[in-house]
């Protein structure tokens, strides 16, 4: 997957407010579906659907604890996402000429009356 494709995938996953809120909650500590549902005030089924997207993106991992599955943030993947987003959003203010006029002399246009006839 190319870098633009990776970035698009990251931002697509993060484009839903509920998923961003979920990541913020499970960044602090691992939580089960029911705890996430209560905290986010949505149904456990909705939480499960969002978790599926987050798991497929490798940003969340699951850990079985007795009868419950607890979810936590994949710290390594979160760091990669941060690096990718910062790379895209950082400003590069190097002095680079405009690509349309690079390596060309800009000539002043003359009026038809100023042009000499051969």
Domain ranges of the chain: 3-87
More confident residue, 8 or 105: 8
Write the pLDDT tens digit of every residue in 5-48. 888 888 899 999 999 999 999 999 999 999 999 999 999 999 99
| pLDDT at res. 70 | 96
Sequence-ordered strand ranges (E) for 54-94? 60-65, 68-73
- Domain covering 3-87 in this structure, CATH number: 1.10.10.10
Give the pLDDT band (50/70/90) at residue 103: low
**CA-CA distance, 54 to 72, in Å (whole number)?**
10
- What DSSP character marks residue 71? E
Give this prediction's pTM: 0.71
Of 56, 63, 85, 61, nearest in space to 75 by CA: 61
């Amino acid at each position: 997957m190319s870098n633009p494709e990776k970035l698009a995938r990251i931002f697509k996953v993060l484009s839903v407010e509920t998923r961003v809120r979920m990541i913020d909650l499970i960044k602090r500590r691992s939580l089960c579906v029911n705890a996430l549902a209560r905290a986010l005030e949505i149904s456990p089924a909705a939480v499960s659907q969002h978790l599926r997207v987050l798991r497929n993106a490798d940003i969340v991992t699951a850990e079985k604890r007795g009868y419950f599955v607890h979810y936590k943030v994949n710290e390594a993947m979160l760091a990669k996402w941060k690096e990718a987003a910062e790379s895209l959003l950082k400003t590069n203010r190097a002095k680079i000429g405009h690509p349309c006029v690079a390596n060309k002399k800009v000539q002043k246009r003359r009026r038809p009356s100023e042009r000499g006839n051969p």
